[in-house]
Amino acid sequence: MPAIAFVNQKGGVGKTTTALGLASAAWARRTPCLVIDLDPQQNATTGLGVWAPVATVDEALASDRPGVVAELAVGSGWPDDRGLPPRVVASTAALAGRERQLLSDPVGAQDRLRVALSGCGGLTLIDCPPSLGLLTINALFAADAALVVTEPSAWASDGVSEIMRTIERVAGRKPSGLKLSGVAINRLARTRDSRYWSEQLVSDHGRLVLPPVCLRAAVAEAAARSLPIHALPPRRGAAEACAEFDVLYDLVVGAGGPEDGNGL
Ligand SMILES: Nc1ncnc2c1ncn2[C@@H]1O[C@H](COP(=O)(O)OP(=O)(O)OP(=O)(O)O)[C@@H](O)[C@H]1O
Ligand SMILES: [Mg+2]
């Protein structure tokens, strides 16, 4: 199963929410899943109910040992009665300092996560910070595929084009290539503005645009309660949100993207 990086240099568009939504779909299907939190904000870590982890992704980036990620993963706090909780390589605020340190590393600064992840098969979801810095670049070098997450708002399409150019450049430097899973629209609202920018994304990026995830109170509630959305009672839009994440999971994890994957 693939390693997928959730990317966009724009902040607050739903990278973490989408990564956790797909982790939740895997939870409900009892599919083993590893979440790597590469963002010093630690939102995926806390969203998975992990507090004060004994090991973090910072150690993976500091190490030269192939496959070290397997030793650094900890159990998540998601319930184990109705689903299979994912494992997590947790983040730490120290990651911001690590990124600065990597900048001065003359050897392999961009593919330290790839080395740390080598040999670890299985579904792996990598949540990236809102920047095109070395942490995101490490995620792209480590991943088999990139999922661009955006919201339907002004200038979103320009931001998507920018991250796509970065994905293309990384793909050109990786012998194993890097697939573009598509563009996931998150937080689609029932407003004219939201509809306009969503249509704009489709007109600019065509078949790469995946079915949307709508703005729903249940999505924010799941994150706030550190629960998989599939574990919430089916009210306040939870069932609809689960269905949307299930569709996304099938397209991104199951098949490998629009037109069976966009190999770059
Ligand atoms: N579909 C949705 N419905 C309701 N709230 C949402 C939805 N998607 C995201 N949110 C809320 O919007 C906020 C930003 O989402 P999220 O943290 O996933 O974005 P992000 O791209 O990961 O941000 P950052 O760039 O800071 O890492 C969060 O509070 C989240 O709960
Ligand atoms: Mg985030």
Residue 76 has pLDDT above 90, yes or no: yes
pLDDT at residue 241 in the model: 98
Residue 56 has pLDDT above 60, yes or no: yes
Name the H helices within the chain: 15-29, 43-47, 57-62, 69-72, 95-103, 112-117, 134-142, 156-172, 192-205, 217-224, 238-249
CA of 152 to the centre of ligand 1 (A): 13
In short, whether 68's Cβ falls inside 6 Å of ligand 1 is: no
Per-residue pLDDT tens for 103-157? 888 788 999 999 999 988 899 999 999 999 999 999 999 999 999 999 999 888 8
In the chain, the domains with their CATH numbers are: 3-263 (3.40.50.300)
CB count within 10 Å of CB 131 equals 16
CA pair distance 13, 188, nearest whole angstrom = 11
CA of 260 to the centre of ligand 1 (A): 28
CA of 223 to the centre of ligand 1 (A): 9
Q: Which of 8, 9, 16 to mutate to test the pocket of ligand 1 (most atoms within 8 A of CB)?
A: 16
- Residue 234 sits at φ, ψ, to 5 deg, of -75, 60
CA pair distance 226, 222, nearest whole angstrom = 6
pLDDT at residue 260 in the model: 42
